[in-house]
Amino acid sequence: RPVNEVLFFPCEAVCVEHILNPSFSCFCSLPHGQETSIHILLRHILSASSSLDVCMFAFTNTDLSRAVLALRSRGVAIRVLVEEKNISICGSQIPVLLGAAGVCVRFNRTPISMHHKFAVVDDRRLITGSLNWTCTGVHDSNENVIVTEVRGLVRPYVTQFARLW
C-alpha cells in the first residue's frame, strides 16, 4: 500500500537525536521521547536506499542536512539543486553539503527563480509542499508537506527534477 500522508508544521523543538544517531544516548536540554512532524519527515528521508534528489529554494536546517549526510555515508546517491541566491543565507547548509564527498550540488543560475520545495526518495516517494528545509519553516511557520508514493504524482516531479538538473 503506497505511502500517502500529510504533515503540518510548525512543530515544537523536540530532540531528534534518536533518529539521526540511534546508538547515542542524548542528554541535551530538549524534550525527549516525543514524535513530531520533523521526526516523521526525517524518517521518510532516511528511508532512501538508492537515491535522494532534493530541489529546494532554501536549505538551512541542520537536522535535515545531517539526514542527507547520513544517507551519503550509507552510499545513497545525493543530488541537491538550490536557488543560487540562497547559497549563502544565514545558516545555509549548502557549504556543508558542498564539502561532503559524493554529494552533488547544483545551483539555479537562470533568471527564473527556483521556488520548489520537494525531494524524491528512490525515484518513488515524493516529499513536497510549502516547507523550505529551514529552521524557520520547521519551527516557526504554518507549513504543509505531502508525502506520497502515488505514481501519477511522483513521476512528474522525477521528470521535472531531471529537466532542472
The residues assigned a catalytic role are 115, 117, 122
Could you tell me if 112 and 78 are in contact, meaning their C-beta atoms sit under 8 angstroms apart?
no
Residue 151 CB, shortest distance to a copy of itself, in Å, is 10
Can you tell me the distance from the alpha carbon of 69 to that of 83, in angstroms, rounded to the nearest whole number?
20
Residue 110 CB, shortest distance to a copy of itself, in Å, is 8
Using a 10 angstrom Cβ sphere, with 0-12 exposed, 13-18 middle and 19 or more buried, the burial of residue 29 is: exposed
Which CB, 33 or 152, lies closer to a copy of itself?
152
Q: Is 128 in the site for a copy of itself (CB under 8 A)?
A: yes
Residue 123 to residues 92, 154, 164, Cα–Cα distance (Å): 26, 8, 15
Can you tell me the distance from the alpha carbon of 39 to that of 13, in angstroms, rounded to the nearest whole number?
11
Q: Is 135 in the site for a copy of itself (CB under 8 A)?
A: no
Tell me which of Zn ion, a copy of itself, none is bound by residue 149, counting a contact when its beta carbon lies within the kind-specific cut-off of 5 to 8 angstroms: none
40-79 binders of a copy of itself (CB under 8 A): 57
Q: Is 105 in the site for Zn ion (CB under 5 A)?
A: no
Residue 34 CB, shortest distance to Zn ion, in Å, is 11
> 128 Cβ partners below 8 Å, 6+ apart?
116, 117, 118, 119, 145, 146, 157
Q: Which residues sit at the interface with a copy of itself, rule CB under 8 A?
A: 4-6, 8, 10, 57, 108, 111-118, 128-131, 137, 140-144, 146, 148, 150, 152-153, 156-157, 160, 164
